[in-house]
Structure 1
Amino acid sequence: MLERIRRILNQFFSNSRTINNEPLNKVSLIVIILIDIFLLINVFTGLDDISKWHLNPTQAYPCYSEWKNYRAQTASYKDYEIIKLSPTDNTKLPSLQQTYQQPQAGHLGKVSEICLNYATSKDKIKNSSNQQTIKTIVGKEANISSLEQTNRNIRAQYDSTLLEKIAGQAPGQSINLVGAEKAKQELDQNSRKIYTLKNEISHLKNVLLAKPESVNFIAFLKDNDKFTAVEKGYQQASFWYPSIQLTFQSLFLLPLIIVALSSYKFAHKRRYGLISLISWHLLVIFFIPLLLKIFEFLQIGVIFQFIFDVVSALFGGLLFLISYAYILLIPLIGFGIIKFLQKIVFNPKVQAASRVQKSRCLNCAKKIQHHDVYCPHCGYYQYVECQNCHNLTYKNLPHCKHCGHSQDYNNL
Structure 2
Amino acid sequence: MFARIRRLLRQFFTRSRTINNEPLNKVSLIVIILIDIFILINVFTGLDDISRWYLSPSQAYPCYFEWDNYRTQTDKDKNYEIIKSLLTDTNTAPPFQRNYQQIQEGHLGKVSELCLNYAGYKDKIYTSENRQTVTIIDQKQANISKLEQANRNIRAQYDSTLLEKLAGQPRSESINQVGAEKAKQTLEQNTNSISTLVREISNLKNQLLAKPESVNFINFLQDEGKFSPVEKGYQQASFWYPSIQFAFQSIFLLPLILVALSVHRFAGARGYGLISLISWHLLVIFFIPLILKIFEFLQVGALFQFLFDVISAIFGGLLFLISYIYILLIPLIGFGLIKFFQKVIFNPKVQAANRVQKSRCIKCAKKIRHSDSHCSHCGFHQYTECSNCHNFTYKHLPYCRECGSAQNSRNYEV
TM-score normalised over the length of structure 1: 0.91
**More displaced, 129-138 or 115-124?**
129-138
What displacement does 1:219 show?
0.1
Contact 2:96 2:123 in 1 (8 A): yes
Distance in 2, Cα, partners of 1:331 & 1:229: 39
**More displaced, 44-53 or 126-135?**
126-135
Distance in 2, Cα, partners of 1:102 & 1:195: 46
Contact 1:384 1:410 in 2 (8 A): no
Partner of 1:245: 245
Partner of 1:213: 213
What displacement does 1:393 show?
3.2
What displacement does 1:222 show?
0.2
SS at match of 1:393: strand
Cα gap change, 1:390/1:265 in structure 2, threshold over 3 Å: closer, same or farther? closer
Could you list the per-position Cα deviations for residues 382-401 of structure 1 after superposition, in whole angstroms to 9, with x for gaps in the alignment? 33334544433334444444
SS at match of 1:87: helix
What displacement does 1:410 show?
6.6
Counterpart of 1:19 in structure 2: which amino acid?
I
Contact 2:268 2:365 in 1 (8 A): no
Counterpart of 2:238 in structure 1: which amino acid?
S
Q: How many residues align?
A: 411
SS at match of 2:393: strand
What displacement does 1:119 show?
1.0
Partner of 1:143: 143
Cα gap change, 1:112/1:410 in structure 2, threshold over 3 Å: closer, same or farther? closer
Counterpart of 2:229 in structure 1: which amino acid?
A
Counterpart of 1:28 in structure 2: which amino acid?
S
Cα gap change, 1:395/1:181 in structure 2, threshold over 3 Å: closer, same or farther? same
Cα gap change, 1:200/1:375 in structure 2, threshold over 3 Å: closer, same or farther? same
Partner of 1:190: 190
Cα gap change, 1:408/1:312 in structure 2, threshold over 3 Å: closer, same or farther? same
1:314 matched to 2:314? The reply is yes
Distance in 2, Cα, partners of 1:93 & 1:402: 82
Contact 2:94 2:126 in 1 (8 A): no
Contact 2:361 2:367 in 1 (8 A): yes
Contact 2:352 2:396 in 1 (8 A): yes
Structure 2: gaps of 5 or more residues: none
Distance in 1, Cα, partners of 2:338 & 2:409: 24
TM-score normalised over the length of structure 2: 0.91
Contact 1:87 1:123 in 2 (8 A): no
Partner of 1:283: 283
Partner of 1:108: 108
SS at match of 2:86: coil
Contact 2:50 2:249 in 1 (8 A): yes
What displacement does 1:301 show?
0.8
Contact 1:359 1:370 in 2 (8 A): yes
What displacement does 1:152 show?
0.8
Distance in 2, Cα, partners of 1:330 & 1:48: 24
Distance in 1, Cα, partners of 2:309 & 2:370: 60
Contact 2:312 2:319 in 1 (8 A): yes
Distance in 1, Cα, partners of 2:221 & 2:40: 47
Counterpart of 1:159 in structure 2: which amino acid?
D
Contact 1:263 1:279 in 2 (8 A): yes
Partner of 1:274: 274
SS at match of 1:85: helix
**What percentage of aligned pairs have identical amino acids?**
73
Could you list the per-position Cα deviations for residues 8-39 of structure 1 after superposition, in whole angstroms to 9, with x for gaps in the alignment? 33332222211111111110110111111111
Contact 1:97 1:120 in 2 (8 A): yes
What displacement does 1:70 show?
0.5
Structure 1: gaps of 5 or more residues: none
Counterpart of 1:227 in structure 2: which amino acid?
F
Contact 1:89 1:131 in 2 (8 A): no
Distance in 1, Cα, partners of 2:248 & 2:301: 14
Distance in 2, Cα, partners of 1:232 & 1:409: 55
1:333 matched to 2:297? The reply is no
Distance in 2, Cα, partners of 1:257 & 1:344: 14
Contact 2:268 2:364 in 1 (8 A): no
Partner of 1:257: 257
Distance in 1, Cα, partners of 2:171 & 2:165: 8
What displacement does 1:64 show?
0.8
Could you list the per-position Cα deviations for residues 312-337 of structure 1 after superposition, in whole angstroms to 9, with x for gaps in the alignment? 12221122222221111100111233
Could you list the per-position Cα deviations for residues 184-242 of structure 1 after superposition, in whole angstroms to 9, with x for gaps in the alignment? 22222221221222122112211111111111000000010121111111111111211
SS at match of 1:76: coil
